[in-house]
Structure 1
Amino acid sequence: MSDAIHATTAPAPVGAYPHARRVGDLLFLSGVGPRVPGTNAIPGNIHDATGRVTEYDIEAQCRQVFANVRAVLEASGARWQDLVDVTVFLTDMGRDFERYNQVYAEHFNDPLCAPCRTTLGITALPTPIAIELKCVASLNARGS
Structure 2
Amino acid sequence: MSDSIKNSDKAPEPVGLYPHARKVGNLLFLSGVGPRKKGTKEIPGVTLDADGNITDYDIEAQCHSVFENVRLVLEASGSSWDKLVDVTVFLTNIKVDFKKYNAIYAEYFKDNQPCRTTVEINSLPTPIAIELKCIATID
TM-score normalised to the size of structure 2? 0.95
The answer for the alignment partner of 2:98 in structure 1 is 97
Per the TM alignment, residue 47 of structure 1 is displaced from its structure 2 partner at its CA by 2.1
Alignment of structure 1 residues 13-28 onto 2, 5 Å: 13-28=14-29
Unaligned runs of 5+ in 1: none
3-state secondary structure, aligned to 2:71: helix
Structure 1 residue 51 displacement after superposition:
3.4
- Aligned counterparts of 2:52 and 2:122: Cα–Cα separation in 1: 20
Amino acid at match of 2:100: R
Q: Distance in 1 between matches of 2:122 and 2:69?
A: 22
Which amino acid in the other structure matches residue 124 of structure 2? L
C-alpha separation between the residues in 2 aligned to 1:136 and 1:30?
9
Runs of 4+ in 1 over 3 A off after TM superposition: none
2:49 alignment counterpart: 48
How far apart are residue 40 of structure 1 and its match?
2.6
Residue 125 of structure 1 corresponds to 124
Q: 2: CA distance between counterparts of 1:16 and 1:93?
A: 28
Q: Distance in 2 between matches of 1:71 and 1:40?
A: 18
Kindly indicate whether residue 131 of structure 2 is the aligned counterpart of residue 136 of structure 1.
no
Structure 2: segments with no counterpart, 5+ residues: none
Q: For residue 8 of structure 2, what is the aligned residue in structure 1?
A: 7
- In the alignment, residue 107 of structure 2 is paired with which amino acid? E
Aligned ranges 1:62-77 → 2 under 5 Å: 62-77=63-78
| Amino-acid identity (%) | 63
The 2-side partners of 1:137 and 1:120 are apart by 20
Other-structure match for 2:110 = 109
Distance of 2:28 and 2:51 partners within structure 1 = 40
Deviates more, 1:93-102 or 1:51-60: 51-60
